[in-house]
Chains A and B, each alone.
Chain A
Amino acid sequence: MIDFVLSKKQQELKEGIHNLGKYVIRPMSLQMDRQHEVPEPFLRNFMKLASGFKSRDLAESFGEGPAVTPQKGDKPGESNRTAAVGAEELAWADAAMLLCMPGPGLGGPPVRATGTTEQKQRFFGVFKDMENGPLQWGAYGLTEPNAGSDVAGIRSRCRKDGKHWVLNGRKCYITNGARAAWTVIFASVDLDQGRAGHRAFVVEKGTPGFFVGKIEEKLGLRANETAELVLEDCRVPEENLLGGEEAYQTKEGFMTAMKTFDNTRPLVAAMACGIGRAAYEYARDFVKDNYVLSRPIPRYSALAERLARVSRRLEAARMLVYRATYMADMGMPNAKEASMSKAAAGQAAISACIEAIEICGAHGSIATEHALLEKWFRDIKVYDIFEGTGNIQRVVISKRILEGLKAF
């Protein structure tokens, strides 16, 4: 039956995160942004509070993606939809904090999808005892100074040397790159082979020849660390080749598994909806408190229209997120829909943040503890850039709507 009402579990998750966001996270938001970090005691407290949610859904909201891909005959779950609901609400609270949460981060999906049993145990084991031990992060290193959207163009090299692989190259814009216990690094055995020559390694912190380069200063998401990683004759043990040698024997093997990334794009889109909604709600309340109550209604009809346009554009994007995650839960291929959700949400949310500032006038651009509009305005831009730019999403969509289009 067609339905758009959240399940009881989703509603509880949404309300729980909303209250945490409102009373715990948002009051810290500006300070974290200015200090370029989320304090560790705060992260620990938040993790304790979050453990009150019984399911894995919250962990999934941190971008790990679902643990299990539904098989034929399985009763479909709703974990992707639930994750989208949670991700939107967390981003509504503070997007940078969400990215700082301990855990495997974007490194999780490739290890889960392609790692051997031994690798999964070893690399996910790092996160088992964060309650008593140190906080840990994973990271994902694909982008290079000269290869972003065109992944086939990466120049990092790898060659086998005895029981090790030797890696050379530079990776940039790596979320949590400096603090990560391990990073999934992509390098090529043969640049002429394009993507077929790619190999993925889990490179652990402290590996000889593996250094942290520059920590980036950014437009937004400043509380979150974005690092450059340098590999200079970095010797990685052969057991850290993700999936083992056999995963790369066929052209399809590794890349097919990587398609699980389709599940993370709608989550990034959901986060964008959360930031856009935060800005919209601020502007809406500002209009109500400052304009409507003190002036005759017709004076604000232009503002009313702007608010409505922002709201419906965000709602349209959210429906594309729900659609893409619904398809993922049903085990239906959703690459096109995942990209549609992200392309639409990124733009809708950027526009929401810009409009919200304009609606509030000068108030909108002032940074105070209660006005986070200027922060959201800075944070949101990257949601149309990371996990594939808006244009790259359109490349993905185009290839799936036009027969015979392999590349532009």
Chain B
Amino acid sequence: MISFEPTEDQVLMRDSVASFAKTTLLPRVRETEKLRAVPDDVRQLAHEMGLGLVAVPEACGGQGLGLTTSVLLEEELGAADAAAPFGFPGPHAFAHAVLELGSEEQASAELTDFSAADAHARFGAVAWSEAKPHPTRAGFTTVARTTASGFEITGKKSFVINAGLADRFVVFAQVDEAAGWHGIGAFLVRRDAAGLTIGARHDTLGLDAAWFGEIDLAAVQVPAAARLTAPRDGEGGTDVDRFVRATARFFARQALVVAARAVGLSRYAWELAREHCETRVAFGKPIGHFQAVAFTLSDRLMDVDSARWLVWRAAQAWDSLGGDGAPAAGSSARKKAEAHALKASAQAAAHALEAAMRCGDDCVGLHGGSGFIRDLVAEKLMRDAKQLALVCPTAEQLDQLATAVELGVPLDPALVLPTPDAQAIFT
């Protein structure tokens, strides 16, 4: 039955996270931004609250609360500071990548120690993008060559979120140079692996608290067991098909988390703008009493609300794939449900990220000159909104994915994955 009512537990958790966001994150937004990191005491608090592990299964040390609960909480965080959650301790995109691409054993081994009491400075990261396309072929420039005991990875990855903080990575690299984007693979690599060095930190437009940077891999040796081959995908097909599908699921789930933060940012920007339009007087009345202004606020409210409901719908679609009553692996019902979840996530994230940009833009615009000045937070919201749209597949890439699923054509990695030769993203 169509219902917009969170469970009692979800309401309690949401209220508690909202209170943390308002009392702890909000007053320190500029401090966090200037520090270019989440302060240690806030990190500690976030870790104690388990904020980095909400949707990670209990078997892997997580809270096992599912994506629906996760997006409810992420919206509250985003409504205070969309940048801070990227700097909270936790596996982040690494968890989604390992859960979709790895075996149960790999997921459990890699994720369990994020819940340890002393893990308040532990981060995971995904190294996907590269700064330049390969000059002569499709696919990653970073290559993973087969060795007697496993693989040797060489290359440079860019736009990696938490690159300088993570102690473990999922690194994507080319395993079959002749196969283009169909020839990619994923590998677990530890920070302390010989040959791995952290490169420069990027200066970015927004989300300053997040550590965006590069990693260099110079003949890094990993065992064969470090390769992630999507063994849990039960849909059949070739190894490549299975890997592409699992990678698309990884990006779709990660995009949904970012989209939830974007909904929070949109809501915050909308509330700030509304408040300003009620109190700022021009030509003898509050500027909100002019139609052009009021109608803009009305349109942005439609953006905020519709984005939230689309995000909820997609999260619920993923959650319905797990637990009791979920369709069996390999069944046609399962295929249909997964396709629905993929498409719903792509739609939700594309809409939410574009909506956030409109809300940030109009928040600055409706404030007029004061919106441009850093005394107010409006300018930060606008910068963060654009940056958010680049920390998961872009709306264009998500749209390709949604249509491919809708048309029922095989997923072409060059089109439906955020391949960096066309439009690089941060992961």
Contacts and interface: CB of A to CB of B under 8 A. Distances in A.
Nearest to B412: A297
Nearest to B410: A297
Contacts of B400: 301, 304-305, 308
B357 to A, nearest CB: 15
Contact of A402 (B5, B289, B407): B289
A319 B347 CA distance: 12
For the complex of A and B, the 9 pairs showing the least CB-CB separation, nearest first, are: A308-B399, A398-B294, A319-B309, A316-B306, A304-B403, A312-B347, A397-B298, A308-B402, A394-B298
Contact of A408 (B7, B278, B291): B291
Contacts of B297: 398, 401-402
Pick the most buried of A292, A401, A408: most chain B CB atoms within 10 A of its CB.
Answer: A401
Interface stretch (B23-31, B201-209, B244-252, B310-318): B310-318
B403 A81 contact: no
B306 A322 contact: no
A404 B309 CA distance: 29
Contacts of B414: 298
Nearest to B307: A316
B277 to A, nearest CB: 7
Interface string B409-427: 1001011000000000000
A297 B286 contact: no
The B contact surface, by secondary structure, is helix
B299 interface: yes
A393 B301 CA distance: 13
B282 to A, nearest CB: 14
Interface of A: 1-7, 10, 78, 81, 284, 287-288, 292, 297-298, 301, 304-305, 307-309, 311-313, 315-317, 319-320, 322-323, 325-326, 337, 340, 343-344, 391, 393-395, 397-398, 401-405, 408
Contact of A398 (B1, B4, B298, B317): B298
A358 to B, nearest CB: 16
The A contact surface, by secondary structure, is helix
B406 A394 contact: no
Interface in B314-371: 316-317, 320, 346-347, 350-351
Q: How large is the interface on B (under 10, 10 to 19, 20 to 34, 35 or more residues)?
A: 35 or more
B151 to A, nearest CB: 30
Contacts of B290: 408
Interface in B223-282: 274, 277-278
Contacts of A3: 1-3, 316
A110 to B, nearest CB: 27
Contacts of A287: 407
A408 B289 contact: yes
A307 B291 CA distance: 32
Interface in B376-427: 396, 398-400, 402-404, 406-407, 409, 412, 414-415
A403 B407 contact: no
B290 to A, nearest CB: 8
B33 interface: no
Nearest to A287: B407
B4 A391 contact: no
